[in-house]
């Protein structure tokens, strides 16, 4: 990323045809960053565009321990840090009687766990089947993903855990348009081999855009405005935590109009702009004071294979409709942008050849009546919050 540009002012001539030495002028620090649209990292850019989201759990974490045979006496299971021991008979406390068959043992295990007064164990609900113990965390969201499971090998419990923890807990992070408070970021560009570490401070997101197509890598462009930068020989950001990249693909995408799938779409462009107003005050360091958001804009373009008159009729009537752009992974993560009131211009329909007729709609969104905002973005993933 290179978003720093220094402007030079040339002293007027008057001393012959050759120019005189230039003078340093104000510093302009802005530019764009190409980013992947993924299930986790993209949330930070959405926060930069819309402000802080509200987060709520949507899917509870689940897990299972599958048994190949009856557990041996004195073998154990560890449920979220608490050890439960299988015994031949006379179970007390955190002990479970081994039944006449595996199904009976699973039933006794589920009863014991559901009746446990241990706080960590009581966070889930347990069910015994013929060959397994299944469990569902009682709290929706990613909280249950840290609930641990383990089974002893010697003595052999004969149990195999589905994973070291419960998995699949998901949260929905909801971003709303119209916020007057946008976060200011510091972004460091590292070139450790030089070494050169450039810290861009006071970064505010001006616009976020991407294109929906049939194939290819799905990415977005973030336009940034920053106050300035400093150069150092060592990092000032420390060692950030690594984020696992789980990308959305074009083939995961779908477009809906008023809740119904919109067919015959060849491509679509989406751009959300904060239309930042730079505060260019007089300062001795030549930096701007900041950047304030003005009237936001949500615009784009839809390229349609002309097979019906749904969009044409809307354009002619001048009515609004909701457009939804979404991506969904098989593991449950999703990204959905809903423009609640979209208006379409009347397009020009041209017949260019025998391959079919296409129409382009340069759409724009506006404040809707219900809900009273222009757009909503919902990112579903396993992150606790942004």
By the 8 A CB rule, do 341 and 367 touch? yes
pLDDT, mean of residues 67-71: 96
| Token representation of residue 116 | 């446990």
Spatial separation of the C-alpha atoms in residues 88 and 69, rounded to whole Å? 15
Spatial separation of the C-alpha atoms in residues 196 and 157, rounded to whole Å? 55
In this prediction the pTM is 0.87
At residue 144, the pLDDT reads: 96
By the 8 A CB rule, do 259 and 322 touch? yes
pLDDT tens digits, 368-380: 999 999 999 999 9
By the 8 A CB rule, do 115 and 125 touch? no
Locate the domains of the chain by residue range. 26-51+179-381, 58-169
pLDDT tens digits, 158-172: 999 999 999 999 999
By the 8 A CB rule, do 149 and 163 touch? yes
Inter-CA distances, 262 with 225, 242, 323, 326, Å: 35, 37, 9, 12
11 has a pLDDT exceeding 80:
no
4 has a pLDDT exceeding 60:
no
Q: Binning pLDDT at 50, 70 and 90, where does residue 227 land?
A: confident
Instruction: State the average pLDDT for the chain.
Output: 90
Q: Between residues 285 and 142, which one has the greater pLDDT?
A: 142
Supply the DSSP string of 161-175, one letter for each residue: ESSSB-B--EEEEEE
Positive or negative, the CA dihedral 45, 239, 386, 124 is: positive
Rg of the chain over Cα atoms, rounded to whole angstroms, equals 29
By the 8 A CB rule, do 102 and 130 touch? yes
pLDDT tens digits, 347-362: 776 666 556 677 888 9
Residue 267 burial by CB count (10 A; 0-12/13-18/19+): exposed, middle or buried?
A: middle
| Contacts within 8 Å (CB) and 24+ apart, 319-322 | 319/343, 320/366, 320/368, 321/257, 321/258, 322/257, 322/258, 322/259, 322/368
pLDDT, mean of residues 324-332: 94
pLDDT, mean of residues 159-186: 95
């Amino acid at each position: 990323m290179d978003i720093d540009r220094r402007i030079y002012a040339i002293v007027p001539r008057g001393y012959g045809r050759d120019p005189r030495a230039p003078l340093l002028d104000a510093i302009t620090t802005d530019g764009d960053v190409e980013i992947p649209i993924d299930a986790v990292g993209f949330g930070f850019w959405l926060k930069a565009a819309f402000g802080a989201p509200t987060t709520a759990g949507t899917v509870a974490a689940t897990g299972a321990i599958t048994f190949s045979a009856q557990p041996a006496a004195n073998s154990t299971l560890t449920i979220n840090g608490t050890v439960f021991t299988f015994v031949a008979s006379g179970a007390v406390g955190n002990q479970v009687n081994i039944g006449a068959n595996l199904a009976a043992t699973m039933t006794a295990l589920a009863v014991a766990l559901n009746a446990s007064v241990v706080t960590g164990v009581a966070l889930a609900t347990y069910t015994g089947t013929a060959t397994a113990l299944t469990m569902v965390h009682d709290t929706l969201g990613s909280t249950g993903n840290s609930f641990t499971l383990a089974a002893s090998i010697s003595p052999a419990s004969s149990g195999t855990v589905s994973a070291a923890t419960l998995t699949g807990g998901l949260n929905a992070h909801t971003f709303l348009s119209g916020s007057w408070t946008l976060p200011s970021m510091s972004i460091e560009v590292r070139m450790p081999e030089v070494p050169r570490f450039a810290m861009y401070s006071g970064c505010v997101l001006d616009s976020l855009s991407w294109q929906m197509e049939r194939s290819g890598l799905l990415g977005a462009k973030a336009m940034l405005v920053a106050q300035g930068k400093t150069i150092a020989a060592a990092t000032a950001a420390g060692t950030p935590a690594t984020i696992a990249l789980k990308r959305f693909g074009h083939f995961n995408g779908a477009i809906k109009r008023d809740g119904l799938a919109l067919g015959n779409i060849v491509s679509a462009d989406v751009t959300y702009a904060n239309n930042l107003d730079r505060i260019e005050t007089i300062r001795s360091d030549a930096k701007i004071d900041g950047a304030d958001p003005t009237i936001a804009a949500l615009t784009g373009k839809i390229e349609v294979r002309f097979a019906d008159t749904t969009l044409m009729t809307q354009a002619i009537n001048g009515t609004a409709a909701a457009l939804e752009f979404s991506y969904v992974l098989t593991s449950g993560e999703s990204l959905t942008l809903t423009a609640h009131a979209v208006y379409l211009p009347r397009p020009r329909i041209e017949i260019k050849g025998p391959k079919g007729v296409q129409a382009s709609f340069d759409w724009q969104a506006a404040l809707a009546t219900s809900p009273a905002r222009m757009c909503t973005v919902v990112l579903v993933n396993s992150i606790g919050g942004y």
